[in-house]
Amino acid sequence: MTDTQGERPDTPTPHSDAEQVAAAPPVPPVPPVPPQPEGGWQAPATAPVPRYQPPQGYPAPQTAETGPTSPIDPVAAPAAGTGAHPTATTATAPSRPKGRVGAGKVAGILVAAALVGGVAGVGGAYAGNSLFAPDGTLPAAGPSAVTVNDTGSVNQTTAIAAKVVPSVVTIQASGSSGSGTGSGVVLSEDGYVVTNTHVVTLDGASGDATIRVTTSDGAVYDATVVGTDPTYDLAVIKLEGAEGMTPIEFASSSQLNVGDETVAIGAPLGLSNTVTTGIVSALNRSIEIASSAVPDTGDEEDQAPQEQGESPFFFDFGQGQTQSQSAETIKIAVIQTDAAINPGNSGGALVDDQGRLIGINVAIASAGGSSGTAGSIGVGFSIPSDIVQRITDDLIADGTATHGLLGASVQSAEYVEGSTITGAYIAEVVEGGAAAAGGLQVGDIVTGFNGAPITDSVDLTAQVRAAAAGSDATVTFVRDGESLTIDVVLGDLGQ
């Protein structure tokens, strides 16, 4: 995250028609582009458009349920895609109306690991060192559309970028303690955008941050918070006066395979419209991240001593601070990818080989164990699109999202004496809860939840929280060496 100063013009100052004619001779016709290989994309046979050059000085814009051990607690149809890829050329940013940012409604705040440039977090000191310049400002490097210089050699990644970049925005949040940048993904033509809670709250440092959003073509909007969901670190904001935006097309994350191609698009280190590629490295992964926003359910939540330790995972909103010392954590199910994800990619898109959303980028792993040196090491995490779609639908409709509650305290089976399998060991069952009603007993080891494999308590909590309150769930467990399956109706984490 980078501190910024000064005002940025909404649009560049264009040359007059006369200047353009005098500056360049007539452009000869471009011959037709030969057909591309199967799955490829053809750029239209037109003369290239001059690239937009921004003015100098442009600033970048449980959790578990209950119990003395590690308790378990824990979408509208996809936007119709046309299948056609937009022209991959650059253009002058249009002038868009802007409104005044109001105080956003924030359900909670997260203590994130770090920020690009720095911000005072909960209990943290201000760390306003720029990654780019001593004065804490970004260089003159405004956003630009996808550039195609050789239309005869366009590959699949270029086509994906041309389709998706207009649906990804750069978010700048600022408050009394500092400012930072993250990313977001357009959900609707009138400007609903999904991002992370830790982006709009400055990693937990502000509940009423001022939010400005820059689109891929350079238009700037004020935005307000529609709703936040700290339990899964998702938020929806609304761009004021927006119209005619390009919504992302959703794919179902349940159909992914390990090895599928991925493309991540966002603003790492404030560098808007950055495209990186990789594959799906793992599915059904769960991670635990320090947070000060865990909802208060009135239940005890104590980690088993064997499971405690510093997490290697950090929100990818920035760089420059140490990991939060919050004793509370959120547990979320994620897609693991080796597409390069760096601080500032938070809230950006992870898409498949057709440019459809499969995840919202949320966190990275650090080999050094400190977010101060966190960067891409090929281990990044995204919230699956099926979860994103459910939660954003709830946030847009009601301003809040619901989460399931199993009504049992659990710990990882590998830490239970005598256990011979991995899973989530039921240490306590809450009377009247979903687990008790379904027939789960102390000593059962849960090995599957709604088709996802469960290897420890974090897996089970993350999967239970991913489901909506009141939804039906299928639980697979082992009792006395026998594998059994039951159906339960989940409770509501918020009650």
DSSP code at position 117? S
Q: Which two tokens stand for residue 322?
A: 């140490």
Contacts of 280 (CB under 8 A, 6+ apart): 256, 257, 258, 259, 260, 262, 335, 336, 337
Catalytic residue, from 198, 216, 338, 352: name it: 198
Catalytic residue, from 346, 371, 385, 409: name it: 346
Report which of 278, 328, 333 is spatially closest to residue 453, judged by C-alpha positions: 333
Side chain identity at residue 11, one-letter code: T
- Tell me the C-alpha distance between 242 and 63, whole Å: 36
- Tell me the C-alpha distance between 221 and 187, whole Å: 15
CB 304 within 8 A of CB 413: no
Catalytic, 198? Answer: yes
- Tell me the C-alpha distance between 199 and 355, whole Å: 24
DSSP codes joined into one string, 177-208: TEEEEEEEEE-STT-EEEE-HHHHTTTTT-SS
Q: Which residues pair with 113 in a beta bridge?
A: none
E strand spans, 366-423? 380-384, 404-405, 408-412
Report which of 87, 325, 320, 408 is spatially closest to residue 217, judged by C-alpha positions: 87
CB 70 within 8 A of CB 303: yes
Report which of 232, 169, 226, 235 is spatially closest to residue 202, judged by C-alpha positions: 235
Answer left, alpha or beta for residue 451, where phi above 0 means left and psi between -120 and 50 means alpha.
Answer: left
CB 214 within 8 A of CB 170: yes
How many residues appear in the chain? 495
CB 283 within 8 A of CB 130: no
Counting Cα atoms < 13 Å in the Cβ hemisphere of 70 gives 26
Catalytic residue, from 3, 222, 229, 233: name it: 233
Report which of 232, 231, 178, 171 is spatially closest to residue 205, judged by C-alpha positions: 178
* Catalytic sites, residue numbers: 198, 233, 346
